Amino acid sequence: IFKLVLENTKPEKIATGENAGKQSKAKYILDEKAKIEARSRVKTLLDRFPVYPELDLELLLKYFG
C-alpha cells in the first residue's frame, strides 16, 4: 500500500512568490486511481484485522457516530 501511494504521489508546483515554478515540499498531488485502490486495500485489511476488536463498533456508531 505504501509503495502504491508513494509511486503515485507527485509534488505540486508553487504558483506564486520567489519559488514560483519550483516543486513544493509541502503540497502534493495523489493520483485518484491510486487513492481509491489504496483505500480499498486498507479497508480490506481492517475488515480482516480490526485495530481494536474488543470494541463494539456498531454500538459506538449508534451513540457517538
Collapsing DSSP to helix, strand or coil, 13 comes out as strand
CA distance linking residue 46 with residue 38, whole number of Å: 12
pLDDT value at residue 65 = 85
pLDDT value at residue 57 = 86
Cα distances (angstroms) measured from residue 9 to each of 3, 47, 52: 10, 26, 30
Q: Write the single-letter amino acid at 52.
A: Y
CA distance linking residue 9 with residue 60, whole number of Å: 34
pLDDT value at residue 50 = 86
pLDDT averaged over consecutive 10-residue blocks of the chain (65 residues)?
Answer: 98 96 97 98 94 90 93
Give the CB-side neighbour count of residue 3, counting CA atoms within 13 A: 0
Domains in the chain: boundaries: 2-64
